[in-house]
Amino acid sequence: MARADGMKKFRILVQYDGTAYHGWQVQPGEATIQGELEAALERIAGAPVPVTGAGRTDAGVHALGQVAVLDLETRMTAGELLRALNSMLPRDIRVVEAAEASPEFHPRYDALSKIYYYQVFTGPVISPFLQRHAHHHRWPLDHRQMDQAAKQFLGRHDFTAFCAADSDVKDKVRQVAVAGLFRRDDLLVFVVEADGFLKQMVRTMAGTLIEVGRGKLGPDDLLRIIASRDRAQAGPTAPARGLFLYRVNYQAN
Amino acid sequence: MARADGMKKFRILVQYDGTAYHGWQVQPGEATIQGELEAALERIAGAPVPVTGAGRTDAGVHALGQVAVLDLETRMTAGELLRALNSMLPRDIRVVEAAEASPEFHPRYDALSKIYYYQVFTGPVISPFLQRHAHHHRWPLDHRQMDQAAKQFLGRHDFTAFCAADSDVKDKVRQVAVAGLFRRDDLLVFVVEADGFLKQMVRTMAGTLIEVGRGKLGPDDLLRIIASRDRAQAGPTAPARGLFLYRVNYQAN
């Protein structure tokens, strides 16, 4: 897909362990995922190269399938770009796929849906090999009640009650296609797919489901909380370490 | 098992992600696993409490089942000690079990065998979620040849060729009970059980097996290398990040 001007648009699939980062978006003086990618690209291109992601992840949040694009005037193939980036990126950020994309492709506007998952470990002692990637709640949670509550998120709702108060997004209506809780021994995984997410939406959903699991809220409270459009009615924002951006879905990709 | 002097011996099972540590053993000015455990215990006891482990692990090596003991004059139960320790230890070190032990129990002298495993990832791009816990070898390895070579370690041998040159251990004869290579997609796992291990023995075994996987050595070279008792005949020492102390076995425990 070479263009007359020699510019190529590359689409990359990025995985990261967000533990050491202040989130996706570039912030002066802070290590961020976008910042690390742009720094590596500047070394490759010899000039600044902006990177656009499908969604901003918060400080400490992880990704198995972040999608981003960048424009580069280069004779490199996508495979060569992948290798060059990985040779310069820190080990906790990896470009796992790279391909040339059509000039019109936009990772955020073209996304049909995103899937996140949130991990909670409920045993008394969490393994050192899990602690970076799951929230540790030291007591058992009623996962059946939590799954029943999660189902209340399904459908089209105004999710103002599950959005950080400082968000400046106007339209807070989102369509949730999948919401459920899966359990493997002491690990609970909340999976949610929607056409878009508000600031801290999944973490607020997870924090509210934990209140259900503790018996502080019933599954039926969820519809009332959604209807209230009042952030104070929902549970606390669950810690970032349990959250993964799992996949971004596009048309026929 | 309270004694007249009020002292109790506790046996603890410890897991750690060794990435951030200079190994098990206390070293002045360096963060070590033993050092973190002793620092936490000193805060609990108000006085220094030595911790004795089943084996020293090198800088960057992990453990799923390190065993250690400590003597404490306390009315604490083992469960209370476990909670107290975990509340003070860094998140990448966890005491997963604690029990009172007989005064005679010694985690190193009483060990019948230890099991280690070594992970090598052979795909082109390693996940950020695996990179702390596997050595990344970017090209495919012949895992069948490696498994055949691993079998040559079985039995009673003088393992001088697989021991770091600066070791001051006299008797380098060890009995290997289990040695094999397991594969799951691009992840190769070398498992070895022996009655004892020499300094960097598993990492040298792993480094040598990688040479076999690359075709630089044949499986039949292994017996020749063992017989040479010459460290220079074996392969390089594989990186610490892939190595786990998996379990220490005792009589009827």
Residues B66-86: tens digit of each pLDDT: 999 999 999 999 999 999 999
Closest-approach residue (CA) in chain B for A79 = B124
Which regions in chain A score pLDDT beneath 70? 1-5, 253
The yes/no answer on whether domain A113-249 falls in CATH 3.30.70.660 is yes
Binned at pLDDT 50, 70 and 90, residue B221 comes out as very high
Shortest Cα distance from B240 to chain A (angstroms)?
16
pLDDT higher than 90, residue B6: no
Q: What is the mean pLDDT of residues B126-146?
A: 96
**pLDDT attached to residue A34:** 98
Spell out the SS3 assignment of B24-46.
CCCCCCCCCHHHHHHHHHHHHHC
B58 a catalytic residue: yes
Fold of A7-100: Alpha-Beta Plaits (3.30.70)
**Count of pairs with CB atoms under 8 A, one residue in A, one in B:** 51
Q: How far apart are the first and last CA of chain B?
A: 16
Give dist(CA A67, CA A12) in Å, integer: 6
Beta-sheet pairing, A243-249 with A173-184: unpaired
Which residues in chain B are contacts of A126 at CB distance < 8 A?
94
Question: Which of A64, A95, A129 is the closest to B17 by Cβ?
Answer: A129
- The neighbouring-strand residues paired with A189 are A119, A182
pLDDT higher than 60, residue B1: no
Tokens of A133: 């990637």
* A139 in reach of chain B (CB within 8 A): no
CB contact under 8 Å between B127 and A94, yes or no, is yes
Distance of CA A191 to the CA centre of its chain: 12
**pLDDT attached to residue A6:** 78
Sign of CA dihedral A57, A59, A61, A64: positive
CB contact under 8 Å between A131 and B91, yes or no, is yes
Question: Which of B92, B95, B127 is the closest to A15 by Cβ?
Answer: B127
The answer to whether A95 touches A231, Cβ cutoff 8 Å, is no
**pLDDT attached to residue B137:** 97
* A128 in reach of chain B (CB within 8 A): yes
Which residues in chain A are contacts of B129 at CB distance < 8 A?
15, 17, 62, 64, 133
Q: Could you tell me the pTM of the whole model? A: 0.92
* B95 in reach of chain A (CB within 8 A): yes
Task: Please give the C-alpha separations between residue B89 and each of A126, B85, B106, B186, B194, in angstroms, as whole numbers.
Answer: 12, 6, 23, 34, 30
**pLDDT attached to residue A168:** 87
The residue ranges of every structural domain in chain A are 7-100, 113-249
CB contact under 8 Å between B125 and A95, yes or no, is yes
Question: Which of B94, B126, B132 is the closest to A126 by Cβ?
Answer: B94
Please give the share of chain B, as a percent, with pLDDT higher than 90: 94
Which residues in chain B are contacts of A131 at CB distance < 8 A?
91-92, 94
Beta-sheet pairing, B113-121 with B135-136: parallel
Which residues in chain B are contacts of A16 at CB distance < 8 A?
128
Shortest Cα distance from B233 to chain A (angstroms)?
31
CA angle A214, A205, A33 (to 5 degrees): 125
Same fold, A7-100 and A113-249: yes
Please give the share of chain B, as a percent, with pLDDT higher than 70: 98
- Which of A 4-63 lie inside 8 A of B, CB atoms? 15-17, 62
Binned at pLDDT 50, 70 and 90, residue B252 comes out as confident
Closest-approach residue (CA) in chain B for A16 = B128
